[in-house]
Amino acid sequence: MTRLELYHQKTKQFSWKGPFFFILTCLLLTVGFFIFRYYYQSTIKIESPEENLGSQVVIHLPDGKEVFTYENYIFEKDGRTSYKGERNTIDLTGGTVTYENWE
């Protein structure tokens, strides 16, 4: 037996089982993560509270202009009629309030 045959009798064969199962496990974990994420995000529902605005009104001002608003935005304080919106307050004193459906 030569020295070459003594030290190189059989070459070690590469096993495909280890990398195959590793890649398969990573793939299954990734798919499972995305399915769980999709299911979890679809169960979250954000609902805003229902706001009661009242009936629709039209305020006819003495100068001929009209203000279209809802009943709950109008208030009276010290004999003055005012509109209180999200960002501003408008004095509507002297206007006539009529209940109409507008669009």
Find, among 63, 59, 60, the residue nearest to 74 by Cα. 59
Digitized pLDDT (tens) for each residue of the chain, 103 residues in all: 677 777 776 666 778 888 899 999 999 999 999 999 999 988 888 888 888 888 899 989 889 999 899 988 998 888 888 989 888 888 888 888 888 887 7
Its pTM stands at: 0.50
Q: What span, in angstroms and rounded, lies between the C-alpha atoms of 15 and 11?
A: 12
* Consecutive H or E run containing 3: helix 3-7
